[in-house]
């Protein structure tokens, strides 16, 4: 750190090198950056909590739909909740809480049109606007309402039971009266899935999955939210019930550069399954309904939000490496002072 720079100067995480497979903390560095001027129409935001999400991995080196590729020296994209420090945009006031595309920064200058005022119900932390009330929550809500459509008594399997999307989707399915089966990758996650998240059955990813799933889903799987790897998908596809709905929500190959995930077409036919792709931007029209409904469930405590919180921007690289290595428990958030 340059001793000539003021501690109040903004900081950013930049890409040091394009990761090979799962990112490591060494793929990034944290730097002080100059505080830029504020032009007309712009807003300066102090980041309170930064959201880390798997899609960010695929921008590193450049693969993700619609996002600019991030090369060495660039700041990865990222959404934050924060407080408005200065505003040159009508309708956005100093002190307001907003959601903004800030990238991995402590402070950012952003176009006012891209800034969304947020409010969360009493007793719910502001960072919920990044998780259960934010993009992962909307992904889960839209998948639940439009794709999985579980009815009471049906069996719903969630590919990544404790993640930012899966945890919300699993709880929504349970609240709709479905039997929920959560797939997890560790003992620590199994405890969360079994405990606060309230899954009916928890099964472990890996070589024993087929047997565990056969026991957990004797009448087959009516709906499956896929967030995970090829092996899990293969096992689930062979246990679909007739008329099953499969939502492809997160593919490991899209993020870590592994071999393309593929589905056995015969399994789709045998189950007369409906397989669809979930891209959250297609479901922005559900946003108000999502915030109202999930906000209510969070405030009442019927739905819990699991957050994997890190303190300080300099923890971002390690937090991201844990996320992409599948070690996070819940939505990954970096809190800044």
Q: What residues line the site for its own copies (CB under 8 A)?
A: 65, 226, 233, 248, 251, 253-254, 260-266, 268-279, 282
- Residue 281 CB neighbours (<10 A): 10
Q: Which helix (H) or strand (E) holds 203?
A: strand 201-204
Residue 254 parent element (H or E)? helix 252-256
Q: Of 33 and 268, which has the nearer Cβ to its own copies? A: 268
181: which strand partners?
157, 201
| Long-range contacts from 245-248, C-beta under 8 angstroms, 24+ separation | 245/147, 245/148, 245/149, 245/273, 245/274, 245/276, 246/273, 246/274, 246/275, 246/276, 247/143, 247/147, 247/148, 247/223, 247/276, 247/277, 247/278, 248/275, 248/276, 248/277, 248/278
Instruction: Name the token pair of 321.
Output: 């490496």
Six-digit token string for 96: 């307001």
> Smallest gap, in angstroms, from Cβ of residue 192 to its own copies?
27
To its own copies, the closest distance from the beta carbon of 187 in angstroms equals 28
- Give the nearest distance from C-beta 69 to its own copies in angstroms: 17
Measuring CA to CA, which residue among 111, 105, 106 is closest to residue 88? 111
- Nearer to its own copies among residue 30 and residue 268 (C-beta): 268
Question: Across-strand partners of 15?
Answer: 28
To its own copies, the closest distance from the beta carbon of 259 in angstroms equals 10
Give 309's DSSP letter.
Answer: E
Shortest distance, position 20 Cβ to its own copies, whole Å: 20
> Which residue bears the tokens 């049906």?
154
Taking the complex as a whole, the smallest distance from the CB of residue 260 to its own copies amounts, in Å, to 5
Quick one: 126 or 280, whose CB is closer to its own copies? 280
Q: How far apart are CA 105 and CA 1, in angstroms?
A: 16
Nearer Cβ to its own copies (146/309):
146
Instruction: CB nearer to its own copies: give 39 or 269.
Output: 269
Shortest distance in whole angstroms from residue 251 CB to its own copies? 5
Contacts of 151 (CB under 8 A, 6+ apart): 176, 177, 178
What tokens were used for 4? 């000539």
Q: Which is closer to its own copies, CB of 72 or CB of 243? A: 243
- Supply the DSSP symbol for 64: S
CB of 182 to its own copies, least distance (A): 21
Residue among 35 and 264 whose Cβ is closer to its own copies: 264
């Amino acid at each position: 750190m340059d001793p000539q720079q003021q501690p109040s100067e903004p900081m950013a995480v930049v890409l040091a090198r394009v990761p090979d497979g799962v990112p490591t903390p060494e793929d990034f560095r944290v730097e002080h950056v100059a505080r830029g001027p504020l032009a007309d129409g712009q807003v300066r935001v102090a980041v309170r909590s930064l959201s880390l999400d798997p899609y960010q991995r695929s921008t590193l080196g450049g693969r993700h739909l619609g996002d600019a590729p991030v090369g060495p020296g660039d700041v990865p994209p990222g959404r934050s909740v924060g407080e408005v420090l200065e505003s040159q945009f009508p309708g956005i006031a100093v002190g307001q809480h907003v959601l903004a595309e800030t990238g991995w920064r402590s402070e950012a200058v952003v176009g006012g049109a891209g800034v969304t005022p947020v409010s969360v119900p009493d007793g719910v932390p502001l960072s919920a606007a990044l998780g259960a009330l934010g993009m992962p929550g909307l992904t889960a809500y839209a998948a639940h309402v439009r794709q999985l459509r579980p009815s009471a008594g049906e069996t719903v399997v969630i590919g990544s039971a404790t993640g930012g999307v899966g945890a919300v989707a699993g709880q929504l399915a349970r609240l709709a009266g479905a039997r929920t089966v959560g797939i997890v990758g560790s003992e620590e996650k199994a405890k969360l899935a079994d405990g606060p998240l309230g899954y009916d059955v928890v099964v472990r990813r890996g070589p024993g999955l087929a047997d565990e799933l056969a026991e957990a889903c004797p009448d087959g799987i009516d709906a499956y939210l896929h967030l995970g790897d090829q092996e899990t998908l293969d096992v689930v596809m062979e246990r679909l019930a007739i008329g099953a709905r499969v939502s492809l929500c997160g593919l490991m190959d899209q993020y870590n550069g592994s071999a393309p995930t593929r589905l056995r077409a015969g399994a789709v036919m045998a189950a007369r399954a409906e397989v669809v792709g979930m891209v959250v931007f297609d479901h922005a029209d559900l946003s108000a309904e999502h915030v109202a409904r999930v906000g209510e469930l969070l405030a009442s405590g019927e739905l819990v939000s699991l957050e994997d919180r890190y303190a300080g921007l300099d923890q971002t690289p390690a937090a991201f490496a844990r996320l992409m290595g599948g070690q996070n428990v819940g939505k990954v958030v970096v809190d800044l002072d």
